[in-house]
Chains A and B, each alone.
Chain A
């Protein structure tokens, strides 16, 4: 060992800038969320949901309050566990298609797809670890892979890539590594070459949603960004006089975003149409975990852990144990997918709205 080497190394002994982005309040709210979801671990609510997402918007003149009682006329039956191979330990649903017939997720660290309540496929050990999205044709995508009708296909990319969403016509979006950054990308089809989506100043980001028309929503520097017509940042969230609130968990269906923010030390659920103002969500879905094409939002009340589906203006209870989450809602609300606190689960619901 040379003293010269050590002295040389000690040239690196410097201090960070005085400006700190460390936020104890955010650690407390995120910590609370992790305690609640310990058994769910880094699972059912996929990476996209837990990314810190500062979004912004103008505030409603007064926060709306929802006093609608949980509906008695409609409801969800107790969840039914989805089939898994014998001996499986941990499973959960991450996403579903528009119809709810396909549910995609993970079993013991391998991507899994269920179709009409039956297990269609579990990836091999060298395949994707998780499916993050599936479309109405059963095209499922995950980390660097796509799966359809019995065949796994590696998505073309010169560097490590991640697929986050797939449209019904097979356009896939996600992110890839480029020069130590994460850049949003699009594949026009399973076999297509990857295309990087431009960001301002080449900032890091991920694409998280894509429509059949090719409109893409992504998270860039923690804010929702839209590619396609009127490209640009979408929303700012301002509530109760606080501006540019950080959205701690976010879900989107392309037309609406939902998530929760911390206002004056309290967690508040919000929803906002893209490019529109934010509105407060009822406490029962204060932590949104899924949204369908009709803007129905599934979420939970972090105080009680109870699951609820907000269908239109109706709050519909979803029976479950502790540490559960709904991560997929069919367009008609009749099928939900998620995690019941123990394993991948589906619920059947009757929604009259």
Chain B
């Protein structure tokens, strides 16, 4: 690193990996893809560290990089799938898990930006203002993307898995 701040980068990233992995996992729904996404994100952070460290809210800036990397991967398509991943770990059995898998598959079909907004708002529990900052858009856009995303999710689930879910408390 040209300005000799590599130690600062390592210290920062070391402390943030658990949070980055969690957000990446919520976006990807898959351990290996999540780790690949975090690996790519921290590599980009290294390259841009001189700018990142000056950001007003470093964590949000870093989460923006992660979300954009996720969106870029979704756009680019299959050949971005990284090599070198081992087979998925076996999913635990059970009806709740099956439901989650159906849900996860449905969420993956929601347009990527709407998907990211839903994940940040409802799975990562972030307020609208923060989601807007991470997504680089207005709060109004976050609200409309939320509505569109939920509508899309309902439509996908309704079309393909009608009757699969019980709309009560989570099991």
Contact = CB atoms under 8 A, between A and B. Distances in A.
A54 B167 CA distance: 46
A329 interface: no
A12 B29 contact: yes
Contact of A22 (B17, B83, B147, B170): B17
Contacts of A177: 78-79
B128 interface: no
A222 B78 contact: no
A218 B80 CA distance: 17
Contacts of A160: 77-79
A30 interface: yes
Contact of B43 (A27, A38, A53): A27
Nearest to B23: A16
B20 to A, nearest CB: 8
Interface residues of A, number: 53
Contacts of A32: 1, 46
B134 to A, nearest CB: 17
Main secondary structure of the interface of B (DSSP, over half): helix
Query: Which has the most chain A C-beta neighbours within 10 Å: B39, B81, B82, B170?
Result: B39
Contacts of A8: 103, 165, 167, 170
Given A8-B167, A47-B79, A182-B79, A22 B39 contact: yes
B83 A34 contact: no
Given A1-B147, A201-B87, A203-B87, A28 B10 contact: yes
Interface of A: 1-2, 4-17, 19-24, 26-28, 30-32, 34-35, 38, 47, 51-54, 143, 160, 162, 175, 177, 180-182, 201, 203-206, 219-222
30 contacts: A1-B150, A5-B150, A6-B150, A8-B165, A9-B118, A11-B103, A13-B123, A14-B100, A19-B31, A20-B21, A21-B32, A22-B21, A24-B13, A24-B17, A27-B13, A27-B46, A28-B6, A28-B46, A34-B47, A35-B2, A35-B47, A51-B82, A53-B84, A143-B79, A160-B78, A177-B78, A181-B81, A182-B79, A204-B81, A222-B84
